[in-house]
Chains A and B, each alone.
Chain A
Amino acid sequence: SQTIHQWPATLVQPVGSPLSLECTVEGTSNPNLYWYRQAAGRGLQLLFYSVGIGQISSEVPQNLSASRPQDRQFILSSKKLLLSDSGFYLCAWSVTLARTGEQYFGPGTRLTVT
């Protein structure tokens, strides 16, 4: 069966520090991968998605970036964090070109920028 991992689970970082969040998927090949952010008490904002290694689409211009160095690895980064980057970051995957297109989510990383 497929599983999705995210780490770290919790992170507290000062303003201006760098960020690296990692997501890996097991049990599937060539998945679509997604990064979402959920601000406190709010809905989901799609940040990036990827349909293959090295292929990244950005949904919202900001100081975050994403990379996909391996088929089942998706990394979210920032060179300098802002207070507004605080939130709950969720990684998700889906089957490429699936008829129904449901996404499966990881456990999330809670980021607090101080």
Chain B
Amino acid sequence: GNSVTQMEGPVTLSEEAFLTINCTYTATGYPSLFWYVQYPGEGLQLLLKATKADDKGSNKGFEATYRKETTSFHLEKGSVQVSDSAVYFCALRVDFGNEKLTFGTGTRLTIIP
């Protein structure tokens, strides 16, 4: 089956620190990969995506590269801000007509000034 494994949270960093949130996956087909962000009390927002091996998704200073050889899609940001405090979800969708997303359990990130 399909599954997504994210690093356990919570993660606490100081402002301007470097961020990595690990995400690995197993999939029965060739998946598209996503990172979503959820700010307190809100719904999920699509942060970035990648659809094939070696693609790099990027948005708002965040990046993630689709690594097929290691089945990974780690989220990185060079310098985090307090406003980046949120829960981050990694997700995949297998590209053979399955319309459903498989989500990881989420990683809570807190940035302290």
Interface residues of chain A, those whose CB is within 8 Å of chain B, are 6, 32, 34, 42-44, 46, 49, 51, 90, 92, 94, 96-97, 99-108, 110
Contact = CB atoms under 8 A, between A and B. Distances in A.
B69 interface: no
Interface of B: 32, 34, 36, 41-46, 49, 51, 89, 93, 95, 97, 99-101, 103-106
Contacts of B101: 46, 101-103
A35 B75 CA distance: 26
B46 A104 contact: yes
Contacts of A97: 97, 99
A79 B46 CA distance: 33
A101 B104 contact: no
Contact of B49 (A44, A90, A100, A106): A100
A86 to B, nearest CB: 15
Nearest to B51: A100
Nearest to A98: B99
A105 B99 contact: no
A42 B87 CA distance: 10
A72 B7 CA distance: 36
B99 A102 contact: no
Contacts of A49: 99-100
B89 A102 contact: no
A89 to B, nearest CB: 10
A106 B41 CA distance: 12
A99 B95 contact: yes
Nearest to A4: B43
A58 B102 CA distance: 15
Contact of B103 (A6, A43, A107, A110): A43
B46 A101 contact: no
Given A49-B100, A100-B32, A106-B43, A43 B51 contact: no
Contacts of A105: 36, 43-45
Contact of B99 (A43, A44, A94, A104): A94
Contacts of B97: 97
A107 B44 CA distance: 8
Contact of B43 (A42, A94, A107): A107
